[in-house]
Every structure is written in structure tokens, then in C-alpha cells.
Amino acid sequence: MNPLMPFTDASRPLHELQTLFLCTLFLYPFAAAGHTLYMIPQALLLAFGLVLLPKWAAPQATLMKVAVCALAIVSSSTAIFREVLADRPEFLEPVKLLVNLSTVLLFLFLQPAFDPGTCAKWLKRFAVVWLLIVVGAYIHAGTSSLEMVLLLLRPEGVTSTRLYEIAEPLAPIFLTKNIVAMYVVAVFGAFLYFKRRAGQSVTLVERLLFSLLVLSLFSRQGILSAALLLALDYFLTREKKLKRWIFIGFVITAMVIGGFIAFAFDFSNPEDGAAARLDLWRVFFTHWTNYAFVGLGVHDLNSSLEHLDIDNYHMFFMNQIAGYGIIHCLAFNALLTIITLKSLPKKIRWLVIAPYWLNVCFQTYGYEYGNLFLYCIAGNSCNLAIEQVPELSTPVYGLNDPLRVS
């Protein structure tokens, strides 16, 4: 499919698959029904995708298929077996891993299923709706902009506790503010990727829309990640004649981010979540050899940190090793590495890859759909180089299309 053209009648099944995928993205941040709303379109997506796979499979190298399937089996089975052997098994994370990795592999093995212009359009609409809900929640709670500013400017500084206090009106509607903010950053990355792939420019209003949405959630990690993503998009899309300004842009970006970190983070304050993370990471490096090979399982991992009044290391790799062992960690990340290196277009692929790592490196686990949907997009992009598929009555245009963004 030409990146700038809508789906044809011949590709209508993939259009329906795209619709289900977009529905999962819209519903994911809502806490209603125990955060299960997005699972309905995801289940339909998986079922429908498996039906389509025999006819719409992308012709890929057998070695790649075997490699990614083997890594998926190893990463899933090690997590499941570790919980089976645990005194108090908790299967939530292994189930998330199995279902969401299956979704990633489905898109990896399917022909290109996303129309970039359509996806970008709907992601922007989702951001508008989410922003209206956030503003409405603050207005309903009687929270004014002045009150928010005064809370931030208290003499004792900005702490994670105070930020959660400000964002309290959102608690009944969305997941926790940090999760939602980083999810918005992930959606922003997908939006930028689709816009660039479609050969469309990103307007200032669109950048402000997503930036304002992240700011309204009062997540320091989200704000910092959004700034880094905007900088990445700027550097990746500059023309050669403007590259002499890259160093200046890099310096300005570094100064802005450094100033934000100095203002928003207090690593000496034990009540600040940032300081707590540093303490957690010191504990991990002290004890990780005790469970590096087989892991502890989620329950025992949480119990081992009770004396710190926290239930995980808040670092993706540390939680993987502590929970399920280093073999699991290596298999899972090797799978993501293969998709990263195969994803296309090579230049702008980092717009969907970077938000995943910005999120998981400072959060719990990377198995959530709100993270791995980015690898659904990246995985499906691995097939953009297909020139012609015999089963289709219309051609599938690859990366030699003159309208593509390299």
C-alpha cells in the first residue's frame, strides 16, 4: 500500500484489523471495568488476525520466523514455569507477556496493515478527546491553574507525592498519572512516526496538543520523555542544509532538560520517588547474583523489598532478572532487538522505538500492551519492503516508493 493512499477494497480485511488496533489504543488509558476495556478489541484483533494470517502473511525469511518464535517461546515459558514453581504463583505478568507478544508477532508476520495517514489522523483525535476529559475532570473538581502553580512552588520543592495530589481528580477515570503520561508519550511517538511515514509535516498545533496533554498529567518522567521525543523528531527530520544547526539544537535541548531535572527532581529528599529509585537500584546491584539465573517470581520479588515499603525495582531489566532470571531477560530483549533492527523506514523508526525504552527503563515491566503496541507498529513495518504479493490483486508498495520518508 502506498503510504499516502487509503486502503483499497482488496485490502479491506487489513483495514478492519487497523480499526481494531486503533480501538485498543483509545481505550487503553481508561481505568473503567478494572482496566479491561481495551482487551475486548485486542481479543477480536488477535482472533481476526489469526484468521487472516494464512492469506495475508508476509513472505519473510524462515530463519527470522524461527528466531523470533523461539525467543518468544523462551521468554514466555521461563516466566510461566517460574511462577508454576513459586510458593505463591502470580500469573498476571506471564499472561500479559504471552498475549501481548502474540499480538506483536501477529503484526510482524502480516503484510503492512497500517495506513499511516489514517492512523495519524485518529491518534490526534484521541489526544483531543483525552485532553478534553482531563480538563473537564480538573474543572469538575474545582482545581484552578493558580492552585496547581502554587502547589508546585511550595518551599519544600516538587515531590512525587505532591504531583499525585495535583492529579488526584484524574484517578477515577484513568490509570495512574505516570502510566498515562508515558502512554501518551508512546502514542505521540506513534503519531510522529505515521505522519513522517505518510510524508506529512507535523504542525506546531499538533506538537502543542500532545505536549499540553502530557503536561496536564503532571508526570516528571512524561514531561522529560516528551521533550526528548520532540528533540529526536527534530534531529531525525532536518534537511542536510540545516544539519549545521544540530549541535546548537543539541546544546539547547540539553540545557532545557538539565534545568527541568534540577527544578523537578530532588535526589536528596527520601520522599521523592526519584531518590527512592536510586536506593532500589543500589539494593539490586548488591543482591542480584542471588537470583540472577532463575529469578524469584513476582510475589517473592515484591516480598524481598517490603522493608523499603515498595514492591518492585522500578527498572525494567532489574525486574526481569529479579522476577524471572537472566535467560528470560536476554530472550525477551533479543526479540525486541531483532524487530528494532528490521523495522522500517530506518531513519524514522526510532520515533516508535525510543518511547518504549524511555518508559520501561524507569517503570515496572515492559509487558503491558501500552508499551508493546509500539512494537506491533515496528514489527509490521518490517514488511514495508515487500514489492508485490501474489495473493493480492493490488500491489503493495515498498520503500522504493518516491513518496516515502527515509
Q: How far apart are CA 152 and CA 162, in angstroms?
A: 8
pLDDT exceeds cutoff 90 at 385: no
Output 128 or 219, whichever has higher pLDDT. Answer: 128
Amino acid at 223: I
Would you say residue 398 lies in a domain? no
DSSP secondary structure letter of residue 266: -
Output 287 or 330, whichever has higher pLDDT. Answer: 330
The SS3 of residue 30 is strand
Would you say residue 70 lies in a domain? yes
401: left (phi over 0), alpha (psi -120 to 50) or beta: beta
- Compute the Cα dihedral for 87, 90, 93, 96 and give only its sign: positive
Q: What is the mean pLDDT of residues 1-12?
A: 51
Amino acid at 292: A
Would you say residue 395 lies in a domain? no
Amino acid at 82: R
Residue 343: pLDDT band (50, 70, 90) is: very high
CB-count burial class (<10 Å; 0-12, 13-18, 19+) for 388: exposed
Predicted local confidence at residue 61, as pLDDT: 81
Would you say residue 396 lies in a domain? no
Angle subtended by helix axes 350-360 and 369-381, to nearest 10? 160
Residue with cell 521523592: 272
Predicted local confidence at residue 309, as pLDDT: 81
**Can you give the residue range of the structural domain that contains 49?**
9-381
| pTM (two decimals) | 0.87
CA 294 remoteness from chain centre: 27
Predicted local confidence at residue 392, as pLDDT: 37
Predicted local confidence at residue 406, as pLDDT: 39
Would you say residue 1 lies in a domain? no
How many domains, in total, are found in the chain?
1
Q: How far apart are CA 359 and CA 204, in angstroms?
A: 24
Would you say residue 406 lies in a domain? no
Would you say residue 163 lies in a domain? yes
Cross-strand pairs, 64? none
Q: How far apart are CA 186 and CA 29, in angstroms?
A: 12
Which uninterrupted H or E stretch holds 278?
A: helix 273-287
Q: How far apart are CA 295 and CA 81, in angstroms?
A: 11
Q: How far apart are CA 34 and CA 37, in angstroms?
A: 8
Amino acid at 210: F
Q: How far apart are CA 369 and CA 88, in angstroms?
A: 25
Would you say residue 265 lies in a domain? yes
Residue-wise over 196-206: b if at least 16 C-beta within 10 A, else e? bbbebebeeeb
Question: What percentage of the chain has pLDDT greater than the value 90?
Answer: 61
pLDDT exceeds cutoff 50 at 151: yes
